[in-house]
Amino acid sequence: MTVFPAALLNGHAIGDCTKWLGPDRHIVIYYVKPDRSEVHFVTSQPEPGFTAESWSAMGDVKELRAAFADCHPQVRHVPAACPAVHKWALVDRDPLPRWCDRNVTLLGDACHPMTPYMAQGAAMAIEDAASAIRRRPCHTTRPFPHSALRSIRARGHRFCAGK
């Protein structure tokens, strides 16, 4: 993953948001500023021995380019233009035993993490919030999150532990 100045593309055109999918890998490329002066891309490809849990680990640009060497010219051009990349491992996590503590409630991938594809974590946060709102008892006088999440727990979900 990286963000870099679009000027490094040397005039090579990219779409507003381009997704390229292939066996065991993908890349998503898009501009991050309205003036199209910066490009962001994120990739996924296998690297079985990499397990570092870090958001700031540096990747090897040459390895990244090699991983996409047989792809479409645009896919090759964008990594070729970037000066540096970061990488992080995708790891499995057990569900949290509870999602709230007093007046703090976690939603989305903060409490049930998902792989970072197509905004699934954000989608889960929206779904969690909608579920909490739908299950909130209308007659309650308790503050919203606690009453709604307690209602969800009563229906068999492990949403909230405590009082």
Q: Which of 30, 59, 61, 161 is catalytic?
A: 30
Q: Is 30 a catalytic residue?
A: yes
- Quote the CA–CA distance of 49 and 44 in Å, as a whole number: 14
Show the tokens assigned to 48. Answer: 């079985």
Residue 101 pairs with which residues in a beta bridge?
Answer: 104
pLDDT in tens, 11-55: 888 888 888 888 888 899 999 999 999 999 988 888 888 888 888
State the pLDDT at residue 137: 53
Residue 8 has pLDDT above 90, yes or no: yes
- Give every CB contact of residue 53 below 8 A, 6+ residues apart in sequence: 88, 89, 91
| Helices (runs of H) and strands (runs of E) counted in the chain | 4, 6
pLDDT for 118 beyond 70: no
Q: Lowest mean pLDDT: which of 30-34, 79-83, 110-114, 148-152?
A: 148-152
For the chain, how far is it from start to end, CA to CA, in angstroms? 42
Note the pTM of the prediction, 2 decimals.
Answer: 0.65
- Six-digit token string for 109: 């991938």
What pLDDT was estimated at residue 46?
86
pLDDT band at 160 (very low <50, low <70, confident <90, very high): very low
125: which 2 tokens? 């946060």
For residue 128, pLDDT beyond 80: no
